[in-house]
Amino acid sequence: MQLATWNVNSLKVRLPQVLDWLAANPVDVLCLQELKQEDHAFPLEALAAAGYRAEFAGQKTYNGVAIVYRDTLTATEVIKDIPDYDDPQRRVIAASFGELRVVCAYFVNGEAVDSDKYTYKLTWLGKLERYLADSLARWPQLALLGDFNIAPDDRDVYDPAGWAGKVLCSESERAAFQRLVAMGLADSYRHFHADGGQYSWWDYRAAMFRRNLGLRIDHILLSPPLLARAQSCEIDRAPRKNERPSDHTPVVVTLG
DNA sequence: ATGGTTGGGTTCCAA
């Protein structure tokens, strides 16, 4: 079984690339972030023609998340948004596939550490943490996939000195990431790869992708029973080379 | 050096 995550930065623009990618990479579950569209515009028919169904939580202009899954699977116990947290931004969707619980999240970016958006980010991280603790108690086989907007350590940053203390790399954000790890959610990419210089996002500006100046901020975290089944976790850089690419590229985990 | 590019929406915001 394969699970993947991809921040598509507008599903409207990227739908052809998503369909191409699924044709070449027929994963079982694909978590999408930054749909940037309302639910009435979600491309259910195009995905159905490709053999996929989806659950989604969109909104106009910003945010928006979806779980796309093979039509041989059944999604149950779907939740949209973090329970008991009144947040107008559509950033979380979760669904069960048998015993497997999939949580797809678009973490707050935060803009800068002195921004109100950073305060929102830390609040949001706290709410997510509580929600995941509850979820893990109910679903031991839990995978958390998404754009975390956190580079867990300096290996995940092209210029660690330049990024030190900045948003995406700050101590508080990294501490929040480590609290997820302490909960039992392992960074599956790091489980298989110790090397640095492997990124999932590159700024559109200044030819950052061509120069491989990026950050690893898209992650797949696995609870212990799933980590035990994990066979590989890979970043697929190919879609970042497309014309009109997303600024993020997919991450894929293979479970036995 | 506070730049640069993209998407969505609209006279700029978010990333």
A40 is in an annotated binding site: no
Give the residue from A54, A61, A162, A165 showing the smallest Cα distance to A110. A165
Mean pLDDT over A225-246 rounds to 98
Over the stretch A55-81, which tens digit does the pLDDT of each residue have?
A: 999 999 999 999 999 999 999 999 999
Sheet holding A76-80, edge to edge: A76-80, A92-97, A100-106, A142-147, A218-222, A186-187
- The pLDDT assigned to A112 comes to 97
Q: Which residues pair with A85 in a beta bridge?
A: none
Average pLDDT value for chain A: 98
Residue A25 known to bind ligand: no
pLDDT value of position A136: 98
Mean pLDDT, range A136-156, rounded to an integer: 98
Q: What is the pLDDT of residues A172-212, one digit of tens each?
A: 999 999 999 999 999 999 999 999 999 999 999 999 999 99
pLDDT of residue A193: 98
Angstrom distance (rounded) from CA A75 to CA A54: 9
Share of chain A above pLDDT 70, in %: 100
Mean pLDDT of all residues in A9-37: 98
Res A190: pLDDT:
98
Measured CA to C1', the nucleotide nearest A89 is B14
Q: What percent of chain A has pLDDT over 90?
A: 100
Residue appearing with tokens 């790399």: A169
- Considering the candidates A28, A147, A156, A187, report the single residue annotated as catalytic: A147
Residue boundaries of the structural domains of chain A:
2-255
Taking the C-alpha atoms of residue A146 and residue A31, their distance in angstroms, rounded to an integer, is: 7
pLDDT tens digits along A78-114: 999 999 999 999 999 999 999 999 999 999 999 999 9
Contacts of A74 (CB under 8 A, 6+ apart): A97
Domain A2-255 has CATH 3.20.20.450: no
- Indicate the pTM of the whole model: 0.98
- Report the distance separating Cα A133 and Cα A149, nearest Å: 20
Predicted confidence at residue A152, as pLDDT, reads 98
CA of A164 to C1' of B5 (A): 24
Q: Tell me how far apart the alpha carbons of residues A49 and A10 are, in angstroms, rounded to a whole number.
A: 20
Give the nucleotide at minimum CA-to-C1' distance from A7. B15
Q: Is A247 annotated as a binding residue?
A: yes
